[in-house]
Structure 1
């Protein structure tokens, strides 16, 4: 009976680890996509904001390696390897939980930090090439102008404007500078709300993926401990 139970758990745990390894690859892909999506605006974002997708990529690599350990431990029916596997899963779960708490705590500071960074960068637009490139990129990419509105600029850059029809030329710097909110060739929305929305959407993806993997990890801990107990009783 014990041998039958052990064989059943062995195959269940082996299949679980295959799924777990795939979830590790999923973490790497999700973290990479989010980092590439938000990272291009890293000039305005603090490292703490960009840290979660990086942690997700690292966690994905670790998850893939740990899943390999779990598969090997299940095949060998090794009590110590199975307990090491369960301990690794527990450590990963605690780290993910801590990162989630840190991200939730920092959420209230995010808006202030982002707006301050954008305002300071805007003030350096004429004197800093990095700030100029960053603002021209974000305004063109997100189709926005200024921090809260086009009125934030004292000398509005041409990246705040766009052609009014397909294949039409971009309005000249003089036309863009003299444009008023409501003109059809001037972006009317501020970049702060657009960038904040993009960061929030990325955070939702991170939270969803994190919860899914955490659920898988809890199941893995239970299965590993169950099989380790069965191996110990058999011996």
Structure 2
């Protein structure tokens, strides 16, 4: 069996450890996202469930591939390294296939989502699912309406109303409304929900694109390292060249030194 460079084996092992850490972080972030969002079922949750399943799959596959690469480097197994190389090629192509369209489509995301949310206005005439979604956003993000409190027209829900502490902190604005033929004031959150929602959505999208391209770069690096190791395994164990000096270049004494002067000279 060929001898793989020790320094290269160490670098490759460190790479696989880092690769495994990346897979573990992806799984932990997916678990955290699942806990924070809370999966309660329903048709509106199908897209979220699919996304979480994909993230779980990516994290587990990353851990498995890292294990195969570490085993191949430790045992100098050509078969394991070839499997790792094939996975790196497929992974880099898949990440580029996902990342490039996402990066290209990012500038149009805000306009598409804005058109989607504007179709839900007015909120007081929307479906119960849309009202529940808006109430949830308003309660957790301290906002009112998607684009303005006027999205609710004259039926502003309790999730828009501020408490005394929030009024003192300047998060609210006073609006007038009619109640039993009397004009009264109500303090509601001054910020609309859509800009805040769009900020967090774009932040998550940018993080996702960054993760995709980072995985693509790692896959290309792993592909390079594994290719070098496989190439070294194809070489003979010893690459040392033994140089021999031809006899014509030996430093034997010249012939005239073998002659001895006779006595008397």
Unmatched 5+ residue regions in structure 1? Answer: 167-174
Unmatched 5+ residue regions in structure 2? Answer: 167-173, 179-184, 238-265
Is the deviation greater in 8-17 or in 30-39? Answer: 30-39
Q: Note if contact 1:156-1:176 (Cα within 8 Å) is conserved in structure 2.
A: no
Q: Note if contact 2:120-2:126 (Cα within 8 Å) is conserved in structure 1.
A: no
Give, in whole Å, the separation in 2 of the partners of 1:177 and 1:100.
49
Name the structure 1 match of 2:142: 143
Give, in whole Å, the separation in 2 of the partners of 1:50 and 1:109.
25
Return the TM-score normalized by structure 2: 0.69
Q: Specify which structure has the higher proportion of strand.
A: 2
Give, in whole Å, the separation in 2 of the partners of 1:38 and 1:102.
27
Q: Note if contact 1:39-1:50 (Cα within 8 Å) is conserved in structure 2.
A: no
- Indicate which of 216, 219, 223 corresponds to 2:218: 216
- Indicate which of 199, 202, 209 corresponds to 1:200: 202
Deviations 1:41-88, CA, capped at 9 Å, x for gaps? xx99994x9977764443222111111111121223122321221120
Q: Does 1:228 align with 2:227?
A: no
Name the structure 2 match of 1:171: none
- Indicate which of 187, 190, 205 corresponds to 1:188: 190
Deviations 1:77-136, CA, capped at 9 Å, x for gaps? 122321221120121122111111222233244223322333344446556332222111
Q: Note if contact 2:144-2:190 (Cα within 8 Å) is conserved in structure 1.
A: yes
Deviation of residue 18 (structure 1)? 1.5
Pair 82,207 (structure 1): closer, same or farther in 2 beyond 3 Å: same
Pair 44,178 (structure 1): closer, same or farther in 2 beyond 3 Å: farther
Deviation of residue 198 (structure 1)? 0.5
Whichever of the two has the greater Rg, that structure is: 2
- Alignment of structure 1 residues 78-157 onto 2, 5 Å: 78-123=77-122, 125-126=124-125, 128-154=127-153, 155-157=155-157
Name the structure 1 match of 2:21: 22
Q: Specify which structure has the higher proportion of helix.
A: 1
What count of residue pairs does the alignment treat as equivalent? Answer: 221
Give, in whole Å, the separation in 1 of the partners of 2:15 and 2:234.
21
Is the deviation greater in 110-119 or in 84-93? Answer: 110-119
Deviation of residue 31 (structure 1)? 4.4
Q: Aligned-residue CA RMSD in angstroms? A: 3.6
Give, in whole Å, the separation in 1 of the partners of 2:92 and 2:162.
47
Pair 164,45 (structure 1): closer, same or farther in 2 beyond 3 Å: farther
Return the TM-score normalized by structure 1: 0.76
Q: Note if contact 1:20-1:63 (Cα within 8 Å) is conserved in structure 2.
A: yes
